[in-house]
Amino acid sequence: MSDSSSLPPVRLHSEAQLARDALAAPLLSRAARLARWAGPGTRVDAGGELAEEQLPGAAGVLGLSGDDAAALTGEAWRVAVDTGLVEVVDEEEGTVTQGEDLALLTSGGPQDVLGIWLGALDVVLADATVPDLGDLVDALGEGEEIDLSSLDWDPEAESEFLDGVLGNLYLLTVGEDALGGVAVPLPALAASMILPDDMGEPTDDVLEQVSDAMMRLDDQFRLLEPVGLVDYQPVDEALMADGAEEPAPVDDMDVSRYGVVRLTPLGLYGLRARLIEAGFAAPAVGELTDKGADTLLDGTAGFPPTAAQAEIEQWLARREPLAAARELLFAARGADAGAPLRRLHCQQALALVGTEAEPALREVLDDAELGGLARVWLSERGAADVPPPSEAMVFWLTIDTVAAQLAAEGNSDELQALVEGLARQHSGFFDTAWRVGHPAASDVLEAMGRLHPDKKVAKEARKAAFKARSHQGA
């Protein structure tokens, strides 16, 4: 996927709701509590980490105890410092004060809160690509320098791997057009990074790589859950038990015991922000509401149906029905390659407009490009005095519809069924279709010849396509 790739549109919660989710994320909440606790007596070391003797007190403020208390407290403190909730006043003295950004969590707007949360996400993503602390200690050589070669750790490769995994999770989520997220088994996510697309039966070596990737991701998603990026069900500890231990009984059919991850609405927002920063086109439903109808129709051309309808509904909600209908119809005109799909989306948008728009549809009844869809709209609403379409208009609209379907779906099963139905229901269809003067007639007829299973009918379609090209050239 290149940086110029356009990703599927994402449906986001409101910024107000996302900001509430960010404030409720355990890690940012802990960081804010530590920032409010920090005072003249708080001390940090040269790296800005909380002094070791102050960790127990800070953990107590957070209500943490047990083996993980110090690590969780240290992580929350790093987030507080790196996001500006805490500022180091004097590095030599190790003194700190509350940062200016701390007040934004209570008095700032949703964008202020989300900006701080994105900073916290950056901190955690960086932490997630660092080796285990035990491995780091083992790698300390003489002179207290870390021997990275002994860790088999490439920081850049680790970061790229995690970015790739999160990118795939984003695609799986927006591809389902699911506002509430999609639960993805960890093995499938790991395999998406390891298995080549054209691989048949994976080899033992590849399966071992997938297993190793799963274990890495298990550790990383455990770190990423507290910041609110994902909901994560970890790998069942029984699967990682030492051979000397008696494993607990497990259900071999329960895929969830291998780990299941779901991108949260806040996580969807966060990954989209990172993708945009990296140069990707990552559209969101609602971005076109203040744009013209031409931008709306072109912009929703690649949207899944549910997302397209949501975008159109939001666009219509800001406009008077009659004015919206006129603007849509004007934007739907054109003889360019994208025009049939624009008219299809125009028709879908007009289906959401009430009878107040009727004057706009009557104004285009004599229009060669729009008269057919106008008649369809009026007839579906039981309007009176709708003139019957001419044969040429019927065939023009048919070619336009098939051209739009080709642009939207390619050679789909639904399109093949449509092609077969047209050839069966209209005798002499091809002999008439090439004469209607539609700019896409030759391409549509060529596609019909390619899609129709009957060789005789397919040949007729191809002959008609040749005539249409010759007619257009003349």
* Span 15-36, pLDDT tens digits: 999 999 999 999 999 999 999 9
CA distance 9 to 286: 10
Give yes or no for residue 105 having a pLDDT over 90.
Answer: yes
Confidence band of 179 (pLDDT split at 50, 70, 90): low
Please compute the mean of the pLDDT values over residues 454-470 and round it to a whole number.
Answer: 88
- Residue corresponding to tokens 């927002």: 269
Residue predicted with more confidence, 115 or 449: 115
* Span 128-176, pLDDT tens digits: 988 765 544 454 544 455 555 555 667 788 889 999 999 999 998 886 5
pLDDT computed for residue 142 by the predictor: 47
Give yes or no for residue 5 having a pLDDT over 70.
Answer: no
* Span 109-124, pLDDT tens digits: 999 999 999 999 999 9
pLDDT computed for residue 63 by the predictor: 95
Pair of tokens at residue 66: 């047990």
Confidence band of 200 (pLDDT split at 50, 70, 90): low
Taking Cα atoms as reference points, which of 191, 238, 222, 268 lies closest to residue 22? 268
* Span 343-357, pLDDT tens digits: 999 999 999 999 999
Confidence band of 304 (pLDDT split at 50, 70, 90): confident
Give yes or no for residue 256 having a pLDDT over 50.
Answer: yes
Lowest mean pLDDT among 3-17, 236-250, 393-407, 419-433: 236-250
Give yes or no for residue 329 having a pLDDT over 50.
Answer: yes
- Residue corresponding to tokens 């269809």: 429
Report pTM: 0.80
Give yes or no for residue 204 having a pLDDT over 90.
Answer: no
SS3 content of the chain, % helix, strand, coil (to 5): 60, 5, 35
Q: What is the mean pLDDT of the chain?
A: 87
Task: Tell me the sheet residues that pair with 281.
Answer: 6
Residue predicted with more confidence, 176 or 49: 49
pLDDT computed for residue 242 by the predictor: 54
Give yes or no for residue 77 having a pLDDT over 90.
Answer: yes
| Furthest CA-CA distance within the chain | 93
Phi, psi of 90 (to 5 degrees): -135, 110
Query: Of all residues in the chain, what percent carry a pLDDT higher than 70?
Result: 88
CA distance 330 to 233: 51
Give yes or no for residue 273 having a pLDDT over 90.
Answer: yes
Pair of tokens at residue 59: 């953990």
First to last CA, the chain: 42
Report yes or no: 68 and 109 within 8 Å, Cβ to Cβ.
no
DSSP-derived secondary structure for 213-259: HHHHHHHHHHHHGGGTSEEEEPPPGGGG--TTS-PPP--TT-GGGG-
Taking Cα atoms as reference points, which of 66, 77, 96, 65 lies closest to residue 27? 77
pLDDT computed for residue 305 by the predictor: 82
Taking Cα atoms as reference points, which of 422, 464, 412, 416 lies closest to residue 443? 464
Give yes or no for residue 381 having a pLDDT over 60.
Answer: yes
Report yes or no: 435 and 406 within 8 Å, Cβ to Cβ.
no
Lowest mean pLDDT among 90-99, 137-146, 209-218, 447-456: 137-146
Please compute the mean of the pLDDT values over residues 381-407 and round it to a whole number.
Answer: 91
DSSP-derived secondary structure for 340-406: HHHHHHHHHHHTTS-GGGHHHHHTTTT-TTTHHHHHHHHHHTT-SS-PPPPHHHHHHHHHHHHHHHH
Task: Tell me the sheet residues that pair with 233.
Answer: 260
